[in-house]
Amino acid sequence: MNDQTKFKALVVREQAEGFQQKIEERCLADLPPGDVLIRVQFSSLNYKDALSASGNRGVTKKYPHTPGIDAAGVVAFSTVPQFSAGDEVICMCYDLGMNTPGGFGEYIRVPASWVLSKPEQLSLLETMQIGTAGFTAAQCVDKLLAFGLRPEQGPVLVTGATGGVGSLAVALLAKLGFAVTAVTGKESEHDFLQQLGCTAVLNRQQATGRVSAALLRERWAGVVDTVGGEILAGAIKATRYGGIVTCCGNAASGDLALTVYPFILRGVSLVGIDSAECPLTRRKEIWDKLAGTWHPLLQDVLVKLSQQITLEQLSQTVDAMLAGQTRGRIVVDLREKA
């Protein structure tokens, strides 16, 4: 292997007719310098990847570019003692797939500080069935638990419930014994959500409630919101006295129109969740839970809520995700074909 070693990657280029995605042959010399060269076996498709693949400059400033904020694979070469050739590792977020060539290529080269050893109890495939979306769902659930939320306190609302973050949050909360109400825009996916363990399903309008109201009837002991906008506002207004709302996404909107009343009359807590710059110690804590006590709860569910695609199928799946037509987690298989 040398700098001219070739590999396949999805490359997004800006053309006169807009942004185009194509599988291209790249060579290792095209990758930035870095401590660890990783042969990617699996990646996954997150909402941020769909934005990067479609030319969103808020995510990716410079094109041509290879998206993919998630990667799991095997170290091919390392300049640091923490990692050796053959180690199974995962690399998620930081700048991967944003302005650093990401997991939609067969190789990535990254700083050692972005790399985590794969937890022993998880397979590489499972780490990407979880991926950034699942890790984010786990962070949200962990915040609810650390806050002291218990199943007997009442139902938990999950918005964007058929999405990557939402579906994993539904499944994990249900397995932990919570009554979960799912919000979805997809009438056809109510069965899927019930299979994941939710006890009730609302459509988006029902979850929003009366937009002009400052407060709504108290319903939720906790909320995992992945969409923002009017649905998040509705969820906060309907959160019970002393309840907690985690906010991690903006699939619907980045806006949040509210009064202070849910906070000053009901003592509701709004907690922000970020995975991109999440410190390494916190990452390890969450992965320890995902690989430890939560693993037996999630093992079957991960299979139910994920599907595998190839690099060649990515482009059409990106379009489907942007059109709101995907569900659950989408793993990209970059292993060498037999």
Ligand X SMILES: NC(=O)c1ccc[n+]([C@@H]2O[C@H](COP(=O)([O-])OP(=O)(O)OC[C@H]3O[C@@H](n4cnc5c(N)ncnc54)[C@H](OP(=O)(O)O)[C@@H]3O)[C@@H](O)[C@H]2O)c1
Instruction: Name the site residues for ligand X (rule: CB under 6 A).
Output: 46-48, 132-133, 136, 160-166, 184-186, 204, 226-227, 231, 248-252, 273-276, 321, 324, 326
Q: How far is the CB of 280 from ligand X (least distance, A)?
A: 15
User: For residues 12 and 65, is the Cβ–Cβ distance under 8 A?
Assistant: yes
Q: Which two tokens stand for residue 224?
A: 């995992």
Q: Which two tokens stand for residue 1?
A: 């292997």
Q: What gap in Å lies between CA 261 and CA 263, rounded to an integer?
A: 5
Closer to ligand X by Cβ: residue 40 or 248: 248
Closer to ligand X by Cβ: residue 89 or 168: 168
Closer to ligand X by Cβ: residue 55 or 324: 324
Give the number of C-alpha atoms closer than 13 A to the C-alpha of residue 261, restricted to the C-beta side. 14
Closer to ligand X by Cβ: residue 21 or 275: 275
Q: Which two tokens stand for residue 80?
A: 């640091």
Amino acid at 241: Y
Closer to ligand X by Cβ: residue 66 or 208: 208
Q: How far is the CB of 174 from ligand X (least distance, A)?
A: 15
Q: Which two tokens stand for residue 72?
A: 């799991």
Three-class DSSP category at 96 = strand
Closer to ligand X by Cβ: residue 160 or 243: 160
Q: How far is the CB of 115 from ligand X (least distance, A)?
A: 19
Q: How far is the CB of 46 from ligand X (least distance, A)?
A: 4
User: What is 254-275 written as a DSSP string?
Assistant: S-----SHHHHHH--EEEE---
Give the CA distances from residue 316 to residues 26, 51, 106, 321, in Å, rounded to whole numbers and listed in that order: 21, 13, 19, 9
Q: How far is the CB of 241 from ligand X (least distance, A)?
A: 27
Q: What gap in Å lies between CA 74 and CA 62, rounded to an integer?
A: 28
Q: Which residue is nearest to ligand X (CB)?
A: 163
Backbone angles phi, psi at 10, to 5 degrees: -80, 125
Q: Map tokens 């997991």 to a residue.
A: 103
Q: How far is the CB of 69 from ligand X (least distance, A)?
A: 8
Q: How far is the CB of 101 from ligand X (least distance, A)?
A: 20
Q: Which two tokens stand for residue 285?
A: 């804590």
Three-class DSSP category at 284 = helix
Backbone angles phi, psi at 117, to 5 degrees: -65, 140
Q: How far is the CB of 325 from ligand X (least distance, A)?
A: 8
Extract the runs of DSSP E, i.e. beta strands, from 46-168.
70-78, 88-92, 107-110, 115-117, 156-158
